[in-house]
Amino acid sequence: MIPDYRPQFPDGPKPAIGILGCGAIAQTAHLPSYEKYGLDIAGVWSRTPTTAGITERFPSVQRVYSSPEELLSDPDVGIVDLAMPPEDRLKWLSAAVSAGKHVLAQKPLTTDLDGLAPILAEAERRGVRIAVNQNARWAPAWRLATLLVEDGAIGDVVGVTHLHDKPLPPIAGTHFDDVPHMLISDYLVHWIDITRCWLEGKKVRSVQAVDSRVPGQPSTAKNPWSASIQVGCTDGAHALLRVVGNVLTKKPSCPFWIHGTEGTIRGSVLGGPDQLELERDSVATQYALEGQWFVDGFAGAMGELMCAIAEDRQPYNSAAHNVGSLELMLAAFDSAGNGGEPQPASLKL
C-alpha cells in the first residue's frame, strides 16, 4: 500500500486563517492552496496596496485589515499565516504568540536562534503551536520519499543528492540582492530542510559550502548564481546539494536521489508532474503522483498545523524541529563566508 502523501486536514471545523503579509507569494501560492482545499480565510493584511481587489479575486477572503494589530486582535483568527520579511519575522511571531494565536511562519524562520528561544518558551506556556512553512516537505515526490524512508524502504540512508537543473527564479533587481549568500541562506533552505528530514537522527561531522558567479551572469545580478553544499555525517552518510546556475533547458527539473543500505529512491520535483521510483531487491516501483509542490505543498504545511492543533501535539514542521535545519543552513553560510572552508559541526539532525 502506498503511504498517503497528500495534504491532510482534521475532521470538523478548522481554525480560520489570517494572512499577515499578503504579498506576491501569499497571493500566488498561499491563497490558491487554501481555496483549493476549502479553508476559511478570516482576512489579510499587506504593507503595500497589493491587496486591492483581493476579495473579488479570492472569494474566501472575508476582509482586508487596516493594520497588523487589527488582524492579531480579531477573535475570528485562529491561525496567523506569517509571511512578513525575515527581518521582521521574530517581531511579529512574538506578537502573534502574545495574542494567543497559532502561527504558520514563512521560511527561513530566522537566523537569530537565541532570539527565537524565548518565543518558543512563551508559545509553550500559552499552549499555542508554531509551525514553519517548509511547504516543500509536502511536495508530492518529496513527501512520499520521506514516508518511504521513515518506513525503512531503503534501509539506513547512505547518501542524499540534489541537482537544480532548471532556470533560477527572477533574482536580479529584487530584495534578494541584499541577502548575503542568497542561494544558501534563502533559496536552498527547502533543499537543506528536506535533506535534514531524510538524514533524521544522524550526527553531522562537517558542512562545506561554496557559491560563485558564473560565466554570462549579468552585473545587475549581485548574488552568485552557483552554489553547492556538502554535509558529512559521523557514520559516513553524506549529502550533496548543487545549483549550477541559470540552466537553459526545455526540460527543467530538480532530480534527487536517496541511496540506502537496502535500496534507492530517485525522483524529481519542480519540472511538471513529480516523479518517484523506489528500487529494492532489483525491483523498481514507479509511483503515479497527484498534485505538485505549488500549490499542494502549501496546503500540506497548513494542514499539518491544523491537525496538530486538533490532536494537541507538536506539528511535524514545528519551529523546534526546524531549528535543526536552520543550524545546518547557518553552518553552510559560515563555510561560504570563509571561502568554502569546511565547518566542523556537532549537530544532531
| Long-range Cβ contacts of 34-38 (<8 Å, 24+ apart) | 34/60, 34/298, 34/299, 34/302, 35/59, 35/60, 36/295, 36/296, 36/299, 37/7, 37/9, 37/299, 37/303
Q: What number is the average pLDDT over the span 337-344? A: 95
- pLDDT class of 175 with cuts at 50, 70, 90: confident
Q: Residue ranges of the domains in the chain?
A: 16-135, 138-292+322-344
- pLDDT class of 171 with cuts at 50, 70, 90: confident
Min mean pLDDT across 39-53, 93-107, 251-265 is at: 39-53
pLDDT at position 298 is: 98
What CATH topology corresponds to 138-292+322-344? Answer: Dihydrodipicolinate Reductase; domain 2 (3.30.360)
Q: pLDDT tens for residues 258-277?
A: 999 999 999 999 998 999 99
**Interior angle at CA 332, CA 328 and CA 338, nearest 5:** 145
Which residues fall within 8 angstroms of residue 78, CB to CB, at 6 or more apart?
15, 16, 17, 42, 101, 102, 309
pLDDT at position 213 is: 96
- Provide the 3-class DSSP secondary structure of residue 2: coil
Distance of alpha carbon 171 from the chain centroid: 19
Q: What number is the average pLDDT over the span 168-193? A: 92
pLDDT at position 142 is: 98
- pLDDT class of 337 with cuts at 50, 70, 90: very high
Centre a 10 Å sphere on the Cβ of residue 54 and count the other Cβ atoms it contains: 20
Q: pLDDT tens for residues 284-303?
A: 999 999 999 999 999 999 99
Q: What is the pTM for the complete model shown?
A: 0.96
For 16-135, the fitting CATH number among 3.10.20.30, 3.50.50.60, 3.20.20.70, 3.40.50.720 is: 3.40.50.720
CB-based burial label for 335 (10 Å; 0-12, 13-18, 19+): buried
